[in-house]
Each structure stands twice: as structure tokens, then as C-alpha cells.
Amino acid sequence: MNDIDRFLKMSEYVGNRNVVLARNEFERFLEENVGSYDFVHLKCLDRFNKACEIQKEGIKSAIVEADFAVAETGTVVIESKGENLRRATSLCDNLSVVVDASRIVPNLEGIADFLRETTQDSENYVSFITGASRTADIEMSLTLGVHGPEEMTVYVLK
């Protein structure tokens, strides 16, 4: 199984919705749907970027670009030096994450250099997001979205 298929499988295991698109298909999708996102942070398509004031109460939806994805765990990795990006990924109800297929690595060792370089600046912050937030109380009642998004969609660009 290649890294892309493994990532998709593991991402699905943790409850994410996954969509594989060619870059031009994704651009068309975004042109039609960018208005439905409260916060957009896409380095690869910066013409769509838009910010909003994010309070501790959160926002409805955000779409952001991941720096890497880890096939072994279905995790996306996002450098979020900016406070608004950190808030958007942790306080939105519906999080969409875009990752280029070439940025999917087999395991955490595949991003060791990235982490070393990124964390040399004490201002930087790296998020590892594996899926929608889940927590359960002592009576085993599962709650979604307590510490992060309730729903997560991953767009893999081929």
C-alpha cells in the first residue's frame, strides 16, 4: 500500500471525510465554495485567503493547508505561527485541511527535519491534528468538538 492510500485509510479510521482531487478540480471547488468558509489559509492558493476575528467562542468553518500529512496515523501537520491560524484549527466546528499528495510522509521520522527547523524559532507552533475532537466522560458518553473541530474533511491534491 502506498503512502497516499495508507494516509486515506488511517484518516478514515479516525472519522475524517477524505476527498482526493486534482489541483485544478480543487481550485474550481474553492472558487464555488470559498464563501462558505469563515477562515481560509492556503499557502498554495493565497488568492483565496481570508481572515476573520476569531473569539474563544470559535467559528463555524475553516479551510487551511497542511505542511505535511503522516500516513502511519492519518495525522495532518500544520505550522501555525499566527495566532489566528491556531484559533481557527482548534475553535472551528468544521475544519477542512488541504494537503498536497507529495507532502504525505510514511511516518513521523519523515518530518524530523521540518520540526527541527520550524521549532528553532520560539514563536512557532506546530499542530498535529488526527481528526475531529473526541472526549468521553467516566460514564462513557462520547462528545465531539470539545477540544477542537466536530467534523474534519481532508482534501488530498494529486
Going along the chain from its start, the domains and CATH numbers come out as 3-157 (3.40.50.10420)
pLDDT at position 51: 75
Instruction: Number of helices (H) and strands (E) in the chain: give both, helices first.
Output: 4, 11
Pull the grid cell for residue 7. Answer: 494516509
Question: What's the confidence (pLDDT) of residue 144?
Answer: 46
pTM: 0.86
Q: Which residues, given as ranges, of the chain have pLDDT below 50?
A: 134-136, 142-146
Task: Return d(Cα 58, Cα 149) in angstroms, integer.
Answer: 10
